[in-house]
Structure 1
Amino acid sequence: MLVKQAANVLEILEYFAKRRRPATLSEVADELGWPRSSAFNLLGTLADKGFLYEPRTRGGYYPSPRWLSLVQTIADAEPLPEAAYSLVAEIAEETGETTAIGAPAGTSALFIHVVESNSPIRYFAQVGHKLPIHASSTGRAILAQYSRDERYALYRKISFQQYSETTPTSMEAVEAELRRSAERGWHQSLADFSPDLVGVALPLPIQSRRLSLVVAGPMFRCRDRIPETAAALQRAVRRFSDLLELSEAPAAE
């Protein structure tokens, strides 16, 4: 269920992120297709709360630094280890493909860190991008870390829409794919959700968090390189796990 007021606030943020300069009430209303009264009420509320300000008199509204302060405080409370950012960068450089960390978000997997490929033809992804948890290698590498009961409780909330010929469209099909992935040693997607896209993923547990690490790219370039990509991921995850163990080990007295 979409809550319109919340969606409008997020749409305002995305609008300013693309515009990157102040906007007047009329510009916001026209660009987003909102009634002037709705735009007036929302912009006024955000300004009253300190989330918008006017850099110049009558020059339009712009988001204030309060957004950054709040988001930074939230991020600092549960940060990814610095080694995780290095891990993603190293794999992206080694494979030449877009590499990301995925996290669970209900029936979806959500990218929380992304390094895009430098190739002109690549998987375009950004932080906040969502994928069906059952129909992507990113999501299934997360599901593999759930107990059977947790998975089946989640399956009951999934509509199992068929995105392509390879999409698993039932809980039994997803469970069968999880078993195949356990046997081969990695999770993969062959256009299960996104057309002509290959994904290769592994679980990336960090403390109590269930995360996944994925490399994704176009079918024509990546399909024949799946075992090679999986091996690069496995080596990198082993190095990362060793680093975490060393950092968490108690110091000798």
Structure 2
Amino acid sequence: MSVRQAANVLELLEYFSQRRRPATLAEIADDLGWPRSSTFNLIGTIVEKGYLYEPRPRAGYYPTPRWLKLVQTITDAEPLPEAAHRLVVEIAAETGETTAIAALSGVSAMFLDVAESTHSVRYHAQIGDRVPAHASSAGRAILAQLAPEARQALYRKLAFERYSETTPMTVDAIESELRLAEERGYHQSHSEYIPDLAGVSFPLRIGDRRLSVVVAGPVSRCLDRRPRIAQTMRSAITSHEAGLAAGQPVRID
């Protein structure tokens, strides 16, 4: 269930991240399709809290640095090591495909760090995107790290929506994929959630956190390359093990 007021605040932040300049109340309302009255109330509340200001009189509103300080404080409390970001960037450069680190969020895998492919045809992903844990290699690489009873508890929450012909639709099908991945040495996917997308994932442990690192790209370019992609990922993970264990947190500049 989506709470409209909360969604509007996040949509406003995304709006400014794309606009990158001040906006008047009228521009915000028109660009986002919001009623003028509710836009006035929302902006007024955020200004009062110190998160928006007018850089120049009557020239429009813009987010204050308070957002950055708030997010940095939150990030520092549960950081990813800088080595994790370097790992993502390195794998993306060597494979040529979009690479991400994911964590479990409910019944989904959420991306915490992303390095996109430079190909014009690529998997478009960004931090905060979510994919079903059971219908993605990124998710199953995390599920494989859970105790059987923890996995069963998660399975009971699944709706088992069919996204494609390859979506696993039963607990047995998911468990079978986990066993095959253990034998294979890595997790993989083929259009289970997003059509024409192939993925390769490995479990990634940072302290007591159960994460995964995934490479994903078009089936036409990646399906047959999955074993080679897995080899590249395995080598990169091994070379960054020390930094992942003791590295400095990623900071937002």
- In structure 2, what is the Cα distance between the partners aligned to 1:132 and 1:238? 27
Tell me the residue number matched to 1:251.
none
Correspondence 1:228 to 2:242: no
Tell me the residue number matched to 1:102.
102
Q: Deviations over 1:25-54 (max 9, x none)?
A: 111122222221211111000000000001
Correspondence 1:14 to 2:14: yes
Q: Deviations over 1:81-105 (max 9, x none)?
A: 1211111121112111111111111
Q: Aligned letter for 1:55?
A: P
Question: Does the CA contact (< 8 Å) of 2:137 and 2:201 recur in 1?
Answer: yes
Tell me the residue number matched to 2:38.
38
Tell me the residue number matched to 1:161.
161
Between 140-149 and 232-241, report the one with greater CA deviation.
Answer: 232-241
- In structure 2, what is the Cα distance between the partners aligned to 1:93 and 1:175? 32
Q: Deviations over 1:152-186 (max 9, x none)?
A: 11111111111111001122211111111111111
Mapping for residues 54-93 of structure 1, pairs under 5 Å:
54-93=54-93
Tell me the residue number matched to 2:250.
none
Mapping for residues 204-223 of structure 1, pairs under 5 Å:
204-223=204-223
Gaps of at least 5 residues in structure 2 are 248-253
- In structure 2, what is the Cα distance between the partners aligned to 1:241 and 1:36? 53
Q: Deviations over 1:126-160 (max 9, x none)?
A: 11111111111111111111111111111111111
- In structure 1, what is the Cα distance between the partners aligned to 2:49 and 2:19? 22
Q: Give the superposed CA RMSD.
A: 1.6
SS in 2 for 1:23: coil
- In structure 2, what is the Cα distance between the partners aligned to 1:158 and 1:31? 36
Q: Aligned letter for 1:70?
A: L
Q: Tell me how far 1:241 sits from its aligned partner.
A: 2.5
Q: Tell me how far 1:246 sits from its aligned partner.
A: 7.4
Gaps of at least 5 residues in structure 1 are 248-253
Equivalences, count: 248
Between 229-238 and 57-66, report the one with greater CA deviation.
Answer: 229-238
Between 36-45 and 23-32, report the one with greater CA deviation.
Answer: 23-32
SS in 2 for 1:210: strand
Of the two structures, which has the highest relative contact order with CA contacts closer than 8 Å and spacing of 6 or more? 2
Correspondence 1:240 to 2:240: yes
Q: Tell me how far 1:243 sits from its aligned partner.
A: 4.4
Mapping for residues 99-248 of structure 1, pairs under 5 Å:
99-244=99-244
Between 4-13 and 27-36, report the one with greater CA deviation.
Answer: 27-36
What TM-score comes out, normalization by structure 2 length? 0.94
What TM-score comes out, normalization by structure 1 length? 0.94
